[in-house]
Each structure stands twice: as C-alpha cells, then as structure tokens.
Structure 1
Amino acid sequence: MYRVSTFIRNFAIALAIGSLVATIWVNLSPESYYDVMEARLFTLSAPNWIMPDHARITLISVTSQLLMALFFFLLGKELWEATMLERGALHGTRGGLPFLASIGAAVGAVAVWILVSALIETAMEARLGIGWQVPIGGDTIIAYVIGRQVFGRGHPALPLLLLICIGLDLMGLLALALQVPETPTRLLWLLLPVLASIGVWFFAARHAQGRTERERQEALHLWPYMLAGAISWIGVAAAGLPGALGLLPVIPAIPHARRAFGMFAEAEELLHDPLNRLAHLTIRPLMLILFLFGLTRGGIDLGAFAPTTIVTLAALWFGKPLGLLAGVLIATRVLRMPLPTGVDAPDLMRIGLLTGIGFTVPLVALQTALPGGAMAEAARLGLALSLVMIPVVLVLFRTR
C-alpha cells in the first residue's frame, strides 16, 4: 500500500473549522452573517452576451465558482491519472468495478431522492424531482479521513473508497452541467475550453516528447498551462455552467508522469512533470480555500428542519449505499469482475456508508439545483446531519 499525502487530513481540518465558524455565526447573528457573505465585492462591467446583468460578485460566488475550481482540478487530475496511466487504479479492466459502483451509488441516490420527494411535499415552489443533482456528490476528503480510521492504515479498501468518492464528486458536478442555461446560445462559449486545450497541446505539451532537450525543456514551463486553464475557466463560466468545472477540460492536454503512483500518493511530490507540479502548487492555497468554502457554504441553520431534510438524508444514507452495492453485484456476479485483493463484502458495506457522507460537492450543487430560501437551507441541514454517519461508522465498524 502506497503512502497517501498528509495534506488530505489538513484539508478536512480546514473545511471543518470554516463550517464550524459559519454555523456558530449564522445561528447567533444570521443578519450579519448573510450581510457579509452576500455583500457585493465589486462590479464587473461586461456586455450581456458575456455575463448576465444579475451576476453578483460576492465572497460566496468567488469561492464556489472560482477558487474551488482548484480543488476539482486536483480531484480531476487524480481520476485522469488513475484512468489513463500505467498501473493506474482505473486503467483497463481494473476500472470496471469502481466505475459500476460509482454509477450505482449515483443512480441509487437520485432514485431515492425522486421517490421520497414524490411522497413528501417538500416545498410549494418545488417541482417533481427538482434538486436530484444534490445527493450525487459526496465528500472525498472527509470520507478518506474517516475511512482511514475505520479500515486502518494501508488497507486495500482505501484506494477503492477514494476512487468511488472522486468519481461521485465529479459526477455530481457534471450533473449540474446538464442543466441548459437560460440562454442556450451561451453554450457556444464551450469552444474556448476546446481551443485552449488544443492550443496548449500544439504549442507546448507536444514538445514533451520532442527529439531535442530544448524542446523537452520548453514543455516543462508552467505558464502556458496556467494561461490555458484561465481561458478554459472563462469559457465554462461564460457558458453558464459551474465555474468549478472550468479547469477540468485542460487536464488531458498537460504533460504528466508515465505511470500512476496511487491516489494522492506522497511519492508524487518528487515528480517534476507539469501536471504534478501544478497540482502541488495548489496544496497550500487549498487549505485557505477549503476554509473559505466551509465559511461561505457550511453555515447550518439548526432551525431549518423541513421535509427536504428528510429527502436529503434518505438519498444519502439509503440510496447511495444500496445503489453502490447493486453496482458491485452487477460487476461481480453478472460481469464476473473480481473484487480487489483484501476487500470483502463487509468492507463494501463500510464504503457504502462512507459515501453517504455528503458535504462539499452537494453544497456546491445547492445554489443551482434547488430554489433558494427555506428549501435550500433544509437540504443544507440534511447534508450537515449526514455527518452523523461518522460516529456511527467509527463505533460500529472501526478496525481494532
């Protein structure tokens, strides 16, 4: 078992501190909390074909749409390497079981969300199935930190847990991208990420395999990839899609290591390829970013309990684990895919329960997938209550 970098634990601490501060603040003085979070930081003057008139630049929007793009760039990088590189955990046939498990968990969460929403009147403004994107994502950071306590250091179930959680997180964001913007012509802006990726590959990345040392050295400069990432983010955001997705399109175009060392492997800190260097440049800023994300999105109104809270918990606690187990059964019984060595059925049950912890990505989804006000706050409370799964799993299943 490879060593996982310690920054994962630091990320969880930063997120928890930000959320705790926000929760205390919003319950003691909600007026001042929302005044600060929703205050307009500055005004951007741009034509309507670039940015809608009602766009507001606040601490919330800057954190969720711009800064969190670095976090999902890190997750996307790990998933890309696991899929494409030699010895990657998802390379070739090895990716079948985690992929089906992630698909099953997502489908189970959405199905239970829609079913329970139909049985319970969630809000007057709610339509059937509205908000189905919320329970798809989870919380890779918290799930791994708790999973390490549950399984023990070095257990082979930990890489599988990371793969499934990262897959669910990215699927949760991509589900938001399925919503067509109010002005469909804005989707033409998606040409920018495509052109940025092709351009940076042609002018920089392809020289990584050049014949001369000069060409190979030119491909190691980071500024072309940073510029391509900025152009890609502008295109995604201007298209009306979540800005947090903005850096993902350029990942395949960035030169990377020849083989994978594992999810968030500590050994990657010694690599000098542009993709790993860019990823590790984000580590220190991400601690502040995740604190800000907890501060801006993690404030829980303890009095917001409503039917949507029950819907959220049902999708996370029942839909996801059951869907994950269904996906694994299809992989192992129907398609005859083997379980990873050292992973058994009880381990899969633990993984399923850990995916039922929903916080980071669902909080991003709330703003777009649900109407604001009481319904969103009730769902936010449900996401916070899903953390109750942490002590339950630790007490019942912790490895002794």
Structure 2
Amino acid sequence: MYRVWNFVTNYSLLLIFGALIALIWANIDAHSYHHVVEYPIWFNDLVGTDAGKWMSKYGEDFHIDAIGDVSRVLTFHYLVNDVLMAFFFAIAAKEVWEAVILENGSLRGKKAATPLVATLGGMVGPIAVYLGMAYFVFGSETYDAVARGWAIPTATDIAFSYLVGRIVFGAGHPAVRFLLLLAIADDAAGLIILAIFYPSGELAPAMLLVSLAAAIAVFFLFNWLPRKMDAGDQLRPRSTWVREKLSFWPYLVAGAISWWAFQESGLHPALGLLPIVPTLPHADRAFGIFSEAEQYLTDLLNHTEHLLKHPVEVILFFFGLLNAGVEFNSIGAPTWLVLAGLLIGKPFGILLFGWLAAGPMKLGLPVGMRIIDLFVIGCVAAIGFTVSLFVASVAFPGGAVQDAAKMGALFSFGAALVSIIAGKLTRVQKQED
C-alpha cells in the first residue's frame, strides 16, 4: 500500500483524479457539484470571501435568508484555493529561493542566462498569441471579454512538465535540467504576476507591513539570534534547542499572520506564505526539485518541505476537484485562446528567445543540447494545468468565461502527447542516467 501511495503522489495523480471526478460530476449533476464547491463552512469576520456577495449569489440555493452581522464566509472553495493552496505556493517559492540564493543555485550566474531568456519568450509568446487571436480572429467584443485572462497561458505546471520531460528526453539529457530551470523561473514570474495583476480585492498595501514585520520577527528571534548566540560554540546548544523543541511552529504562526495580512491587503492570500519561506534556516546546497536526496537534508527548510509533500498532494486533489468541474458545453473562445497560447505561443516563444540567447547574445546552450531541442522543451512547458487553472479562477469571476478558460487549461495536458510526437519528429536522442 505504501508503494502504491508513493507512486500516486510522486506522479501527482491525485490532482488528475480530482480533476476527472470534477469533470464527470459537473457534467452529470452540475447543481450538486456547485453546491459542494460553494458550501459555507463558517460565517465570520476574519477569513473568507465577502459574505454579502456570497448571500446574493448562493444564499437562496442553501436556503439561508440571513447571516447576521458578519462580513465573511469561509466556503469550501475559499478554504482550498485561498488558504490551503498557500502551502503549494510555499513549496514552489522554496525551490525558487534556493535556486537564487544558494552558491550552487540553478538560477545563479551565467548558467541560468539562456533558460531565463527562454522563460521570457515562454511568457511573451503565449501573451502575444492569446491577445492577438482574441482581437484579430474573434473580434474586439471577445477581446474585451477575455483580455484579463492574458496570464493564463503563461503558466507551466512544473511537476507534470518535469515528468513528461524525462519521458521525452530521458533523465540524463541536459534538456531536462534546462526545462527545470525554465519552469522554476516561470514559477517565480507567475508568483509576481499573481501578486501584481490579480489582487483579490481593494488594495491596502500598508497591510503588507504586517507581513514584513512577521517575517523579520521570526527570522530574528528563531534563526539569526540563536546562531549569533552560538557563535564560536561548535555544539550550537541554542540553535539545536530551537530546532528540536520549536521546529517549524514559530514559522507557521508567522505564516498565519502573513497570510491574514495578504488577505487584508487585497493581494491573493494564497501567496501569503511567500515572505516567510526565506526566513527558514536552509542548507548550503540543494539537489534540485523532486530530488530524492533532498529528503536527507536536515535543515528546517527541507524538513518542512518533506513534511508538506503528501499533505500538498491531497490539497491538489481537492484543488482539482473544486476547480476542474466545467461542463463540456462551456467550451468557447477562451478555451481555444488558452490552448493556442500554450501550444503555439510557448514552443515558438521559447525557441525564438532561446535561439537569440544562444546565438546572437552568445550565451550558448548546455553541452549536448541542440537549438531544435528548445522547441521540444517549449512543447513540454505548454502543460499549464495546475497553475493555469489557478490563474483562470482568479482572472475571471465565476461564469461562462471562467469555465471556458478552465477548459483550455485542462486540455493543455494534451501537450504531453504533442511533446512526445515533437521529440520523435526532431529525433531527440534519449539519455538515461
């Protein structure tokens, strides 16, 4: 049973199961599906979506006439998308942080230059295709309706892209490492886009000072100060006591404060743990995302990630369940725009910008990689799935446009098949470990 569970979680199959259940459920009984998604767990003044808006939209369905003097309602959907998904983004932020800060980080120095330029192409290309097709193919009316979703096809699902990349190139091919660098940089850019362009409410930037204060306090009291007091003492008694007795709990408390501050600031609260991630004590090296060796690192940052791995997989199951329930009759212009942005914009954007970096800019490619491999990498990176679904859910209000855009994000999983075909046609030579 343990091996089965490991297989399911290592290959992120829980997310796929959740999405498939949602698709079937929504197309059999859409009313009961949405009834579960928007189920009110707690009416309160601290956490949740706007209670007044929820009442006007769903109150009658739940036979609720009055809720009293409360301002928020914690729904099942809000709990997963806005609260629990914060742990998913924290893990993504951990990989980005290590890639940037560590001496052997994959996004430090010249070795990251070409992947970073290619990442820019992997964002510019999809945006150009999405907005260009919306205006010139579907017309100005459709353009006005869908323009806010420009960031949906910029996303790359790092987990699935990595797995498909290994299938196409083999685990030992330098293109797999290149793909990981690109996906990590894409994640970093995606977090910035969510924070800047998709606020969840009216902006109150001053509240971010609360988040900053929580991050500084937890870093100073539970990271810097114990190490400072242990200076010159090889036994490190204070740091060891903090690590063994308090573990991640101070950071979890600081994370809760930061999350609340993000909610109150108007930024998407799922990003609320990001300021806390850099404050955790970390090792002086990293083996790379999804590396089995990282579970043996004893620093608190890697230990916390290891503890979160399986819970986050379960969270992704519920994320798929609560976000992928789209009726097939919802397919429309946003579906094809998201798909075109991913399947056309990503490969050609990465190919063009990667070629510019490797050739005219003289930044080069890793030994063993060809220019045409950039196109295949772009096909693999076109799997938007998880992050595209998330962006679609915040880019548009619930309704036909959001559902159609989500369908495009779901269909992007077809890029896996496109990648395998592209690999065969371009004669990729698989290299195993």
Whether 1:36 aligns to 2:54 is no
Instruction: Quote the residue 1:15 is aligned against.
Output: 15
Match of 1:93 among 100, 110, 113: 110
TM-score with structure 2 setting the length? 0.84
Identity %: 36
Deviation of the 1:203 alpha carbon: 0.6
The amino acid of 1:16's aligned partner reads: I
Shift of the 334–236 alpha-carbon distance from structure 1 to 2, 3 Å rule, reads farther
Secondary structure at the counterpart of residue 86 of structure 1: coil
Offset, 1:9: 5.7
How many equivalent pairs are there?
393
Distance 1:396 1:331 in 2: 22
Specify the alignment match of 1:266 in structure 2: 292
Closer/same/farther in 2, CA of residues 377 and 250 from structure 1, 3 Å limit:
same
| Contact 1:11–1:290 (CA under 8 A) maintained in structure 2 | no
Runs of 4+ in structure 1 deviating by more than 3 angstroms, as ranges, are 6-9, 50-56, 121-128, 179-182
Structure 1 counterpart of 2:84, from 34, 57, 67: 67
> What secondary structure does 2:286 align onto?
coil
Stretch of structure 1 that moved more, 305-314 or 21-30: 305-314
3-state DSSP of counterpart to 1:178: helix
CA distance change for structure 1 residues 38 and 128 in 2, over 3 Å: closer, same or farther? closer
SS across alignment from 2:148: coil
Task: Spell out, residue by residue over 1:129-164, the C-alpha distance to the aligned partner (whole angstroms, 9 max, x if none).
Answer: 321121221211111121111111222222221221
Does structure 2 conserve the Cα–Cα contact (< 8 Å) formed by 1:317 and 1:386? yes
Question: Partners in 2 of 1:72 and 1:167 — Cα distance?
Answer: 14
Question: In the alignment, what sits opposite 1:215?
Answer: 238
After the TM superposition, which residues 340-351 of structure 1 pair with which residues of structure 2 at under 5 Å, given as runs? 340-351=366-377
Letter in 2 for 1:166: I
Give, in whole Å, the separation in 1 of the partners of 2:96 and 2:417: 28
Q: 1:333 aligns with which of 359, 372, 384?
A: 359
Name the SS for the 2:329 alignment partner: coil
Partner of 1:201: 219
- The separation in 2 between residues aligned to 1:73 and 1:104, in whole angstroms, is 25
Aligned partner (choices 267, 283, 299) of residue 325 of structure 2: 299
After superposition, the CA RMSD in angstroms is 2.4
Structure 1 residues without counterparts, runs of 5 or longer: 1-5
Q: Which residue of 2 aligns with 1:189?
A: 207
Structure with higher RCO (Cα < 8 A, 6+ apart): 1
SS class of match (2:41): strand
Q: Hey, what's the Cα distance between the residues in 2 that align with 1:28 and 1:289?
A: 24
- Deviation string, structure 1 residues 226-265 (Cα, Å, up to 9, x no partner): 2222221111122121222111111222110012222222
In structure 2, distance between residues paired with 1:17 and 1:181: 28
Tell whether the 8 Å contact from 1:325 to 1:352 is kept in structure 2 after alignment: yes
Q: Deviation per CA, 1:33-65, whole angstroms, max 9, x where unpaired?
A: 1111112121122499x9775444222111111
User: Is residue 233 of structure 1 aligned with residue 250 of structure 2?
Assistant: no
Selected match of 1:176 from 194, 216, 221:
194
The amino acid across from 1:277 in the alignment is H
Contact in 2 for aligned 1:307/1:378 (Cα 8 Å): yes
Deviation at residue 182 of structure 1 after TM alignment: 4.7
Deviations 1:261-303 (A, max 9, x none): 2222211111111111111110121121111111011223222
The DSSP-based 3-state class of the residue aligned with 2:154 is coil
Distance in 1 (alpha carbons) for counterparts of 2:116 and 2:16: 29
Q: Which runs of 5+ in 2 are unaligned?
A: 1-5, 54-71
Residue 300 to residue 218, structure 1, CA distance change in 2 (3 Å): same
Deviation track 1:303-323 (CA, whole Å, cap 9, x = no partner) reads 212111121111111112222
Cα distance in 1 for partners of 2:17, 2:200 equals: 34
- Cα displacement (A) at 1:8: 8.9
Contact 1:98 1:163 in 2 (8 A): yes
Comparing 204-213 with 63-72, greater Cα deviation is found at 204-213
